[in-house]
Structure 1
């Protein structure tokens, strides 16, 4: 078995990618409320702040800042995956790929680049013509807060 080592930093900020096993599935957006509920339940167990997120039909990208000394983002991912799988009533292996990808954010430029990547991802994958057209994105909160204009990246 591979001994995979993940990066950790106290109070670190991480870019996470969670992917479905069946890349043709749309269960994440079809059952978006179940995903939200699973994430909120996981947040109560694993303290963190979501800086940016986008949910596409078959995968999601999230930028999270951990708020505990353990920096247990692996447990966060596990809780989200298990919670979502239970809420949609799947049995067996569930919808998720077994692993996930993470990247420790190194500095402010890295943080900004990953926020932009997250928000632009629906356009990149052909799910929307403009960033503002994709409903399952933290981009809309950035617009409401006056951080980004509605026509950003158009």
Structure 2
């Protein structure tokens, strides 16, 4: 029942891993609304589709599909990192207010163009990542994942077989 496995690839789809600079940090899940808003702001400036995503305490995975002919992932991720960092500065006070994004985020991110033959496996990898890290007992128990959108749309069953 995994109907989401059809590859979007309108422009091209990319798998990403972005990490906070502190491996023991919980900023992403502690400030998930700010992270979501940072993504929305980036999408409003340079559109892309978020096919699948998961946010863990210190890193996130996502598959984005960019518009045809557009390969500019770097500008989009830079915008996300800056917006999230600014939001943290506002919410955490002056100690973070002047912090550059590279003090919160690792300077680079992992990017992998997604082929149609690996799309479904990467979506499953994203949705099962919290389970692999021991953060939940089943993928649908993790609140910060696109899996819930897939379940609500009837694309996958709400079981361990995400």
Same fold at TM > 0.5: yes
Question: Within 2, Cα distance between the matches of 1:146 and 1:68?
Answer: 28
CA contact (8 A) 2:10 2:65 kept: no
2:34 match: 34
Q: What 5-or-longer segments of structure 2 have no aligned partner? A: 1-8, 90-95
Aligned residues: 145
1:148 to 147, 153, 156: 156
Q: What 5-or-longer segments of structure 1 have no aligned partner? A: 1-8
Q: Which of structures 1 and 2 has the larger relative contact order (alpha carbons within 8 angstroms, sep 6+)? A: 2
* 1:68 Cα deviation after fit: 5.0
Question: Within 2, Cα distance between the matches of 1:40 and 1:10?
Answer: 20
Matches within 5 A, 1:46-85: 46-67=46-67, 69-85=69-85
Which one has a larger percent helix, Structure 1 or Structure 2? 2
CA contact (8 A) 2:30 2:57 kept: yes
| 1:100 paired to 2:102 | no
CA contact (8 A) 1:35 1:84 kept: yes
CA contact (8 A) 1:54 1:61 kept: yes
1:6 match: none
TM-score normalised over the length of structure 1:
0.89
Which structure 1 residue ranges, 4+ long, deviate > 3 Å from structure 2? none
SS in 2 for 1:50: strand
CA contact (8 A) 1:63 1:115 kept: yes
CA RMSD for the aligned pairs? 1.6
2:92 match: none
Deviations 1:53-93 (CA, angstroms, capped at 9, x unpaired): 00000000000000153321111111111110011003144
1:112 match: 120
1:11 match: 11
CA contact (8 A) 2:52 2:62 kept: yes
